[in-house]
Amino acid sequence: MAKVNVKVCLGTTCFVMGSSNLQELMSIVPHKYGKEVHVEGSPCLGMCSSEYEFSKAPYVKVNNEFIKEATVEKVLAAIDKELK
């Protein structure tokens, strides 16, 4: 079983705010980490509307941690941290 689960939000808000750029994670992550990390797209993770001030889409969830204003670099750093 994968040690780290990554969910890339593909909901409307996150998609408009740039999660389409994060779709390259779908190819980078399996290539870099193999079976250690499972990555998938997800419908709205519920973060874009839960708290206005926390509306910093796009969001990615790495295990139980939410990454706001996610970029490929931030997500890879979070995965590395989880694998330590």
Contacts to ligand FES by CB under 6 A = 9, 11-14, 44-48, 57, 59
Q: Is 75 exposed, middle or buried (0-12, 13-18, 19+ CB in 10 A)?
A: buried
Q: How far is the CB of 77 from ligand FES (least distance, A)?
A: 20
CB of 52 to ligand FES, least distance (A): 13
Q: Quick one: 33 or 75, whose CB is closer to ligand FES?
A: 75
Q: Give DSSP secondary structure letters for 25-64.
A: HHHHHHHHHGGGEEEEEES--SHHHH-GGG-----EEETT
* Shortest reach from residue 60's CB to ligand FES, in Å: 9
